[in-house]
Structure 1
Amino acid sequence: MSFKTVILSSVAVAALAAPAFAQTNLRISTHYATEHPSGKLLAAFADDVTTMSDGDLTIEMFYSSSVVGTTETFDAAINGILDCDATGGAYQTGKNPAFQFVGDIMGGYETPWQQYSWLYYGGGYDAAQELYNAQGMQLIGWSIYGQESMSSSKPLAGLSDLQGWKFRSPPGMETEIFQELGATPIVMDFTEIFTALETGIIDGADASGLANNVGLGIYDVVQHATYPGFHSMPSDHLACNKTVWDGLTESQRRIIDTAWQKLSFQIALSNEKANAEAAAALTADGVTLHDWSPEDRAAFRKGAQVAWEDWGTRSPEAGKLLASHKEYMTQLGLIAE
């Protein structure tokens, strides 16, 4: 037998003896469209996971809630229709009011970085994980694009301007906060905002961040906005079926966690840039941007705490998460003891 034959035979035996790794594919659904900036970053996240795992782990991303509705995505992951949910915890307050405190704290942190730091360094991850695990899910991480802006047909320069201000609001805690502060929130769908502003049914709207509001065409109708915002900073999440998550290798879990943290960083940065560009363009076009004073921001946060405390009584998990947020915000100097 030649030396070459021996080498080839050894390679063949080694190949047969090597364990066969089956490729793992995760089915993840998001409410974002493929052309949306967040949708594009989610595609990059999926590519990062595949590349870092050398193809051992792939992600099948479903955009625009194409498999099930946005609010049903979490249940679809629990029940095995999907593997992971890339929407947000705020859609699940019907399961447990505590999800409000992982979806949108409302008037709490001032920057994405403060809110991320609660999750990773302020005890938030463990506190939130208990909530997710009780539902059979594993929280992987957040993505936070930053403060939302309010748009208005009249000046919205401070707390006093909220008196009698009629605006489009999402349902839930936000309506309670603004009612407490004298405004008149009207719950309506995104699709109704433009006509309601044109006809004067509402004076303004809470829709999204400044750049997204430009895309919606809101500033073709109204000429005032809050910027930088202060009232709402929603966090999207990546949450996976816990059985599926536990079935991944440690290497695969670390790859997903690392790729998601990169996505989180990029979403916050890219939106900060987009909002700054939008602010400059709007100012040049004559739109007035109102940056609330530290005193008015603090007064809004104090008013928001009335709603926080009420929501904190609605379940033991809500109370625990609220206590964790308050402790960390006190450390940051955002609220007083």
Structure 2
Amino acid sequence: MFPTRLAAGLLSATLACNALAADFTFKFQSSDPSGVKNFEIQQAWVDRVEAMTGGRVEIDLLPVGSVVSHTETLGAMKMGVLDGHISVTGYFSGKDPAFGLIGNTVGAWSSPDQLIDYINHGGGYELMNELYKPYGVKFVGGGGTGVESFVSKKPLDGVEDLKGLKMRAPEGLVQSVFAAAGASPVNLPGSEVYTALSKGVIDAADYTVFSTNHEAGLNEIAPHPVNPGFHSLPLIEIAMDLKEWNKLPEDIQAIMTVSARDFAQDISTQLAMADREAVNEARANPDITIHDWSAEERRKFRTIARDQWQVYAEQSPNAEKVYQSVTEYLESQGLL
């Protein structure tokens, strides 16, 4: 009798374990390191997806560089090394200038909400999926982290101060715009910004929002931040292998899509709240001077940026599609 009961117990335990096992298990890589707020918010999205699907989907989110570099995740999905990523679209401008243009249309957006509206209701979602289809990647959704701050070891009060400035800028349109403004941009992953600033390799950086910069100690070694930022509002996206996406039932696809929209609002809202707290803290520090560019200087920079949109649009047919899509949307909303 005892062996029979034991066997029955083991069988029940096995069935229970199987019932709890996820139907779909994915490995995603972030473009952010663990420990920063961006990554925490991304992990919260992962946890929500698991809860909303009743445990049918389980996503293992890895920090930047865990499997491949931040610029290689598209290829890693195609090779089956990764199932997805949460990343900045502009990092893939080396594959097509279109990703640089839509990934950070420098000077186009005054707030994350404008970019989110374009993605969800202005044609951006459909265009992103058209651009990614040849790579076997599904654009699930995305939005803007926020209008970025700018960290600098030197006082910056306008476009003239950018001339000759050694600075970090991500791949794509951002580098082109800063170069056109007279700066000397270099390509460095975000994880190397602190070291490069502290060692004098660069004097400034287009990195991310004020609160993340401040928490990382960047404002202490580069005590002349420009805030609000005058430059970048990058598109942060959730994307995954198209074949894996197509295996998902319709209800899970719907959950993933809606949750990606929620993520876009979540990350921009939480970072804006954190930014306000960090700015107050920085203002209380006599060693940090926050520079707020005048409306005239911001217009000068955006004029330079918009000239570069057209230059970028000429670099590939897809970039031309992005240019037409974004400018038509901006014009329709009275934003251009």
Query: TM class, shorter-chain normalised?
Result: 0.7 to 0.9
Structure 2: stretches of 5+ with no match in the other structure: 1-20
Query: Could you list the per-position Cα deviations for residues 270-305 of structure 1 after superposition, in whole angstroms to 9, with x for gaps in the alignment?
Result: 111111111111111132222223332222111112
Superposition map of 1:102-121 within 5 A: 102-121=102-121
Counterpart contact for 1:110–1:230, Cα < 8 Å: no
| Deviation for aligned residue 1:143 | 4.1
The residue that corresponds to 1:328 in the other structure is 329
The residue that corresponds to 2:99 in the other structure is 99
The residue that corresponds to 1:254 in the other structure is 254
Q: What's the secondary structure of 1:225's corresponding residue? A: coil
The residue that corresponds to 1:35 in the other structure is 35
Deviates more, 1:137-146 or 1:219-228: 219-228
d(CA) in 1 for partners of 2:240, 2:91 = 15
Query: Could you list the per-position Cα deviations for residues 39-81 of structure 1 after superposition, in whole angstroms to 9, with x for gaps in the alignment?
Result: 2222222221222222222223233332222222211212222
| Deviation for aligned residue 1:184 | 3.3
| Deviation for aligned residue 1:204 | 2.6
CA distance 1:240–1:203, shift in 2 (3 Å)? closer
| Deviation for aligned residue 1:248 | 0.9
The residue that corresponds to 1:224 in the other structure is 224
d(CA) in 2 for partners of 1:186, 1:247 = 40
Query: Could you list the per-position Cα deviations for residues 282-336 of structure 1 after superposition, in whole angstroms to 9, with x for gaps in the alignment?
Result: 111132222223332222111112221111111111100111111122234332x
Q: What's the secondary structure of 1:138's corresponding residue? A: strand
d(CA) in 1 for partners of 2:44, 2:277 = 23
Counterpart contact for 2:138–2:241, Cα < 8 Å: yes
Structure with the greater alpha carbon radius of gyration? 1
Structure 1: stretches of 5+ with no match in the other structure: 1-20
d(CA) in 2 for partners of 1:136, 1:191 = 28
The residue that corresponds to 2:160 in the other structure is 160
| Deviation for aligned residue 1:219 | 2.4
d(CA) in 2 for partners of 1:332, 1:223 = 37
Q: Note the aligned Cα RMSD (angstroms).
A: 2.4
Q: How many residues align?
A: 315
CA distance 1:245–1:188, shift in 2 (3 Å)? closer
Counterpart contact for 1:149–1:225, Cα < 8 Å: yes
Say yes or no: does 1:306 pair with 2:307: yes
Counterpart contact for 2:142–2:238, Cα < 8 Å: yes
d(CA) in 1 for partners of 2:222, 2:22 = 56
CA distance 1:156–1:73, shift in 2 (3 Å)? same
CA distance 1:331–1:95, shift in 2 (3 Å)? same
d(CA) in 1 for partners of 2:167, 2:29 = 31
CA distance 1:34–1:187, shift in 2 (3 Å)? closer
Structure 2 residue identity aligned to 1:107: G
d(CA) in 2 for partners of 1:114, 1:229 = 16
Q: What's the secondary structure of 1:305's corresponding residue? A: helix
Query: Could you list the per-position Cα deviations for residues 248-286 of structure 1 after superposition, in whole angstroms to 9, with x for gaps in the alignment?
Result: 111000111122222221111111111111111111113
Deviates more, 1:169-178 or 1:43-52: 169-178
Say yes or no: does 1:51 pair with 2:51: yes
The residue that corresponds to 2:124 in the other structure is 124
Superposition map of 1:265-284 within 5 A: 265-284=265-284
Query: Normalized against structure 1, the TM-score is what?
Result: 0.84
d(CA) in 2 for partners of 1:128, 1:270 = 25
Q: What's the secondary structure of 1:233's corresponding residue? A: coil
CA distance 1:156–1:45, shift in 2 (3 Å)? same
Deviates more, 1:44-53 or 1:289-298: 289-298
CA distance 1:99–1:225, shift in 2 (3 Å)? same
CA distance 1:331–1:99, shift in 2 (3 Å)? same
Q: What's the secondary structure of 1:214's corresponding residue? A: helix
d(CA) in 2 for partners of 1:221, 1:22 = 45
Counterpart contact for 1:88–1:103, Cα < 8 Å: yes
Counterpart contact for 1:128–1:321, Cα < 8 Å: no
Counterpart contact for 2:101–2:322, Cα < 8 Å: yes
Query: Normalized against structure 2, the TM-score is what?
Result: 0.85
CA distance 1:197–1:256, shift in 2 (3 Å)? closer
CA distance 1:290–1:259, shift in 2 (3 Å)? same
Q: What's the secondary structure of 1:289's corresponding residue? A: coil
CA distance 1:246–1:170, shift in 2 (3 Å)? closer
